[in-house]
A = this chain, B = another copy of it.
């Protein structure tokens, strides 16, 4: 048995006594016939070699070292990474991330007077997780079209209104479909005084909160009837990895289909990129690719995500 192998084994024995039996390093020294300094060094070695794993098991637990890496390596101004330790279902992951986003909004200073929001499953969850009185006087404005055509009518409106009401402000909805069939219709809608006013207000928001959709058949755009399954397949063929405020991007963050984009109502991606505070919330394996595109192309300044997605952004 080599010397470093003996030391490795000793460090495991020491770690067992230290972490599982709550013995002092001195006591361990007596038990293993070592000085307490040697024990301390063995323990440090065990930690450093990665034999000791410390996990915080709690739905609200975050992974600060990963957050730091995201800030440093991906140039984000802030990052919130929820732990996946003890997560049993995809729903739970979604809940944790939404809760973290709600927490982040609540703690945000200075409180934005106007908050631009997108809509979708994630945003709806966030609105549900915000507490009454999370802010006082935060007005909310929709930043992309979202009158649902098919199912779940009103989720988009309920999201914005919910965030606004709980934040002691009012919501301004964008009364337009997300994507129009004809360019002329889209231009006509945007020319409408009310719609133009809402978009103007959206441009002036102090902060944006949005999610991104994966480019697959589960997309809310398919569910809402704006796009067909075939449309999505075509977009994927063209390199789409997902959508942000209804606009489909490739892995570099470029618009995949300019013609489609021109028929999409709401803030443009460049307007979003110019924002001083843009909070993207994304979780789950399906969002890995689009999350990478969002972060790489500077669509967000703050990212709220889960551990696995974060690690994908760093090492994947």
Residue ranges of A at the interface with B (Cβ–Cβ < 8 Å): 1, 8-9, 12, 15-17, 19-21, 46, 50-58, 60-65, 85, 131
Q: Are A62 and B16 in contact (CB under 8 A)?
A: yes
Closest CB in chain B relative to A307 CB, distance in Å: 12
Other A-B pairs, 8, CB within 8 Å; known A12-B60, A16-B56, A20-B64:
A1-B131, A15-B56, A16-B61, A51-B61, A52-B57, A53-B55, A53-B57, A54-B54
Q: Name A21's contact: one of B8, B64, B131 (CB within 8 Å).
A: B64
In the complex, residue of chain B having the shortest beta-carbon distance to the beta carbon of A60: B12
Q: Name A9's contact: one of B1, B19, B60, B85 (CB within 8 Å).
A: B60
Q: Are B16 and A54 in contact (CB under 8 A)?
A: no
Distance of A210 Cα from B52 Cα, bound (Å): 32
Minimum-distance CB pairs A-B, first 5: A53-B55, A19-B54, A20-B64, A12-B58, A51-B58
Distance of A156 Cα from B57 Cα, bound (Å): 46
Q: Are A52 and B50 in contact (CB under 8 A)?
A: no
Q: Are B12 and A56 in contact (CB under 8 A)?
A: yes
In the complex, residue of chain B having the shortest beta-carbon distance to the beta carbon of A1: B131
In the complex, residue of chain B having the shortest beta-carbon distance to the beta carbon of A23: B64
Interface residue SS majority, chain A = mixed
Q: Count identical subunits in the complex.
A: 2
Distance of A51 Cα from B86 Cα, bound (Å): 10
Residues of B within 8 A of A8 (CB): 58
Residues of B within 8 A of A60 (CB): 9, 12
Residues of B within 8 A of A17 (CB): 64
Distance of A64 Cα from B23 Cα, bound (Å): 12
Q: Are B21 and A65 in contact (CB under 8 A)?
A: yes
Closest CB in chain B relative to A64 CB, distance in Å: 5
| Listed residue (A17, A56, A62) with the most chain B CB atoms within 10 angstroms of its CB | A56
In the complex, residue of chain B having the shortest beta-carbon distance to the beta carbon of A62: B16
Q: Are B56 and A50 in contact (CB under 8 A)?
A: no
Residues of B within 8 A of A16 (CB): 56, 61-64
Q: Are B65 and A57 in contact (CB under 8 A)?
A: no
In the complex with contacts A62-B16, A65-B20, A50-B57 CB distance below 8 A: yes
Q: Are A12 and B52 in contact (CB under 8 A)?
A: no
In the complex, residue of chain B having the shortest beta-carbon distance to the beta carbon of A17: B64
Closest CB in chain B relative to A2 CB, distance in Å: 12
Closest CB in chain B relative to A245 CB, distance in Å: 32
Q: Are A19 and B56 in contact (CB under 8 A)?
A: yes
Closest CB in chain B relative to A132 CB, distance in Å: 11
In the complex, residue of chain B having the shortest beta-carbon distance to the beta carbon of A56: B15
Distance of A62 Cα from B12 Cα, bound (Å): 9
Residues of B within 8 A of A57 (CB): 50-53
Residues of B within 8 A of A65 (CB): 20-21
